[in-house]
Amino acid sequence: MCLPAQAALRLVLQSDDLNQAELAASQALLADVSRVLPPVLLSRLDAEVPVRWSSALDASVVGRASASGKLLLNRRQLSVLVAAQDADPTRQQLLATLVHEIAHLYDRGRYGSDRQRRLFQRCQSQQQSLGLVGLPSWCRGQGERRFSLSDDPRLLDLAGWPERVGERGARVKVNHQRDRSPDRYELTSPSEFVAVNVEYFLLDPQYACRRPALFAFFRQHFNWAPEHVQSCSASYPYLNASLDPAQQALGRIDPQRVYAVHYLLAEPNQAWASRWGHSMLRLVICAPGRPVGPDCMLDVDQHLVLSFRAFVEDVQLSSWDGLTGNYPSRLFILPLTQVVDEYTKLELRSLSSIPLQLNEQERKGLIEQAAQLHWSYDGTYYFITNNCAVETLKLLRSGTANAELTDLESITPTGLLALFEGRGLADDSELADREWAMRRGYFFDSYRERYQVMLEVVRANLEVPVERVDDWLTLGAAQRAAWLSAGDQRTTAALLLLEQAAQRRQLLLVRQELKARYQALRGTGHKGLDDTEQLMQQLLANSGYLSRPAELLGAGYGLPQASEWQQLQQRSAERRQGLLDMAGNLDEQLLALLDAGRRNEIELGKRNIRRLAGRLRALHRAEGGVQLP
């Protein structure tokens, strides 16, 4: 029996061995399948597709398509189907299985003209012999496949098989969008991804909200969408990776409030992993109530940074591990203010913020894809082949679908910026006047320059043995103490700022040393960790959710929805408070972990700061000023 007669695709039930009840239930199931399929799919699959209940399938297999194109359903499910109501899980599973397998037939080009099938078989043979993801370039655009999906470049970008930067069209072979998946079988190949996602596109009302970019792709491909689509929020959820208690743990990005996207470049420094700079993207978000426009550049407390980083639970970055891919690469979403402090004050590196020439649709697509990756992506970080520049370029390609980005190839942040400028995608004219750029938030100067000015103040009044601020900061605290009591009020204030900078540098070195120590301990299987060491390991291990927010949620896929928000708020608040409590305990016990020399340096630095603060108050009082705190 064929259902439905008017459709081009005809599902032919082989019913010789079915009783009346089984026949009626099977016919109703096939009719439901035909009703949920897009008209384009029905018309293009212009053939009879046999459907048969089989006793040969394993108990765990609901159904599959045979090599001959026949759809087989597990006969063990037939009696359950006969007794099932429309919403019964078994019936829904059978419906999803048929949709899944029909999607495979559609994607494979199983039906169509003889010439189409022969040409496609040739394409498949070359694809397999070369080990490619997606069809070879000569197969595309020749008319041999009228309705392919799993080799569509746009779908591969969104699905998690983007082009590999530097390899001219080759695509990654492993899908790293592994978190928040509806069915991990989708990650095994593009064809399985298509089948799983067509199934959810047609049957899950929440698919448009959970995977909005893919929903839009299928809707455009089929020129059609299911009627039962759930209405979606206009904003996208994210986890704030900052541990600042004043910041909200969870936030939402409204694309309508994003005035611009900037390429945010941290200048290179001498560290091995940072010698080419660091690539990030800045979302210029307008404060509530402000009209979207240039003045939103002033709302820096609202701006967010998308930053791919090599997340490490407890290690200082190792050049060897970075080359061999032993670090996860994840997308952090951070407040701009934290990123600026991190680079300019701690690492003494300036930041340049260069506007990208993206239209409103491209900005929205970028934010949508960034949100999707934030909740799903767990990649592998390589300093050379999959670093921050490569990850940023892949995000821009997949998010904006801008053709100008397709053939760009760069593995360095500075090189990527040069390519953007060469294509007219980036405009650095705002940086021409450095003072204006700093006032308007296009440039954030390194505190090295400010500290150098402070050192010049000191050198004008005291005979110190160094000319460069870097050399001053590397002097020991005991050496610096020799000049703390000799300056006037202005000189003492400059010395205080320099001493605070030196103390921050010491704490940065301490953090690196402790991370390296724990890496070595864990690598040797050391079991004799004391309570403080165990506390630090727990702190570092528990911070993983900041880069992998999917850890906070259980079942569900894609972007978190309203039904998951309460759970997300509760767990993120608990985890954040736990980290803050542990960090506070750790600060109290930190000195016990250091060697005597480093511990002494920290204590002497604190003493120097107290001395300078006291002297500055005394000098201020002596000159008749208001008493300082």
Number of Cβ within 10 Å of residue 61's Cβ equals 14
**What pLDDT score does 326 carry?**
45
Please give the share of the chain, as a percent, with pLDDT higher than 90. 55
> What end-to-end distance do the CA atoms of the chain give, in Å?
90
- pLDDT higher than 80, residue 138: no
Please give the residue that has the higher pLDDT: either 624 or 17: 17
Q: Out of 154-163, 328-337, 366-375, 413-422, which region has the weakest mean confidence (pLDDT)?
A: 328-337
Residue-range domains of the chain with CATH: 2-108 (3.30.2410), 236-444 (no CATH), 447-622 (no CATH)
- pLDDT higher than 50, residue 7: no
Per-residue pLDDT band at 126 (split at 50, 70, 90): low
What is the CA angle 285-286-287, rounded to 5?
120
Per-residue pLDDT band at 75 (split at 50, 70, 90): very high
Which amino acid is residue 507, in one-letter code?
L
Going along 103-226, which residue ranges are E strands? none
User: Is the Cα dihedral 317, 318, 319, 324 positive or negative?
Assistant: negative
Which amino acid is residue 52, in one-letter code?
R
Rounded-to-integer distance, Cα 100 and Cα 93, Å: 10
Give the tokens for residue 518: 């724990």
Rounded-to-integer distance, Cα 217 and Cα 227, Å: 16
Q: Is 367 helix (H, G, I), strand (E, B) or coil?
A: helix
Q: Out of 68-77, 110-119, 163-172, 478-487, which region has the weakest mean confidence (pLDDT)?
A: 110-119
Rounded-to-integer distance, Cα 12 and Cα 48, Å: 6
Going along 581-629, which residue ranges are E strands? none
How far from 596 is each of 148, 420, 519, 601, CA to CA, in Å? 67, 50, 21, 9
**What pLDDT score does 128 carry?**
60
DSSP string, 494-517: HHHHHHHHHHHHHHHHHHHHHHHH
- pLDDT higher than 90, residue 490: yes
Average pLDDT over residues 197-204: 98
Rounded-to-integer distance, Cα 98 and Cα 81, Å: 14
Rounded-to-integer distance, Cα 180 and Cα 210, Å: 10
Rounded-to-integer distance, Cα 207 and Cα 559, Å: 10
Give the tokens for residue 411: 């593995």
**What pLDDT score does 307 carry?**
92
Q: Cβ(411)–Cβ(390) under 8 Å?
A: yes
Please give the residue that has the higher pLDDT: either 146 or 125: 125
Rounded-to-integer distance, Cα 340 and Cα 282, Å: 11
- pLDDT higher than 90, residue 581: no
- pLDDT higher than 60, residue 442: yes
Q: Out of 67-71, 209-213, 476-480, which region has the weakest mean confidence (pLDDT)?
A: 67-71
Per-residue pLDDT band at 621 (split at 50, 70, 90): confident
Give the tokens for residue 308: 């791919």
Backbone dihedral region for residue 168 (phi beyond 0: left; psi -120 to 50: alpha; all else: beta): left
**What pLDDT score does 432 carry?**
92
- pLDDT higher than 70, residue 159: yes
Give the tokens for residue 418: 């040069």
Of 142, 143, 141, residue with least CA distance to 153: 141
Q: Is 357 helix (H, G, I), strand (E, B) or coil?
A: coil
Q: What secondary structure letter does DSSP report for 169? A: T
Q: What is the mean pLDDT of the chain?
A: 84
Q: Out of 386-390, 460-464, 470-474, 479-483, which region has the weakest mean confidence (pLDDT)?
A: 386-390
Please give the residue that has the higher pLDDT: either 238 or 511: 238
**What pLDDT score does 5 carry?**
45
Rounded-to-integer distance, Cα 600 and Cα 594, Å: 9
Per-residue pLDDT band at 137 (split at 50, 70, 90): low
- pLDDT higher than 90, residue 78: yes
Average pLDDT over residues 184-190: 95
Number of Cβ within 10 Å of residue 35's Cβ equals 10
Q: Out of 59-68, 73-82, 391-400, 419-428, which region has the weakest mean confidence (pLDDT)?
A: 59-68
Please give the residue that has the higher pLDDT: either 167 or 372: 372
Question: Chain centroid to CA 443: how far?
Answer: 25
- pLDDT higher than 70, residue 250: yes
Which amino acid is residue 104, in one-letter code?
H
Of 339, 367, 319, residue with least CA distance to 444: 339
Please give the residue that has the higher pLDDT: either 285 or 124: 285
Q: Is 444 helix (H, G, I), strand (E, B) or coil?
A: strand
Place of tokens 């746009």: 154
Average pLDDT over residues 384-393: 81
- pLDDT higher than 80, residue 439: yes
**What pLDDT score does 487 carry?**
85
- pLDDT higher than 90, residue 246: no
Rounded-to-integer distance, Cα 123 and Cα 142, Å: 11
Average pLDDT over residues 428-434: 92
- pLDDT higher than 70, residue 4: no
Rounded-to-integer distance, Cα 595 and Cα 350, Å: 32
- pLDDT higher than 70, residue 247: yes
Helices (runs of H) and strands (runs of E) counted in the chain: 22, 14
Three-state SS letters, 521-562? HHHCCCCCCCHHHHHHHHHHHHHHHHCCHHHHCCCCCCCCCH
Average pLDDT over residues 220-229: 93
How far from 301 is each of 255, 352, 373, CA to CA, in Å? 17, 17, 24
Average pLDDT over residues 381-398: 81
**What pLDDT score does 585 carry?**
60
Three-state SS letters, 389-408? HHHHHHHHHHHHCCHHHCCC
Rounded-to-integer distance, Cα 304 and Cα 237, Å: 13
Per-residue pLDDT band at 257 (split at 50, 70, 90): very high
**What pLDDT score does 114 carry?**
45
Which amino acid is residue 110, in one-letter code?
R
Measured in residues, the chain has a length of: 629
Q: Out of 3-7, 100-104, 133-137, 531-535, which region has the weakest mean confidence (pLDDT)?
A: 3-7
User: Is the Cα dihedral 492, 493, 496, 498 positive or negative?
Assistant: negative
- pLDDT higher than 50, residue 322: no
Q: Cβ(370)–Cβ(331) under 8 Å?
A: yes
Question: Chain centroid to CA 420: how far?
Answer: 21
User: Is the Cα dihedral 224, 230, 235, 239 positive or negative?
Assistant: negative
Bridge partners of residue 50, in order along the sequence: 12
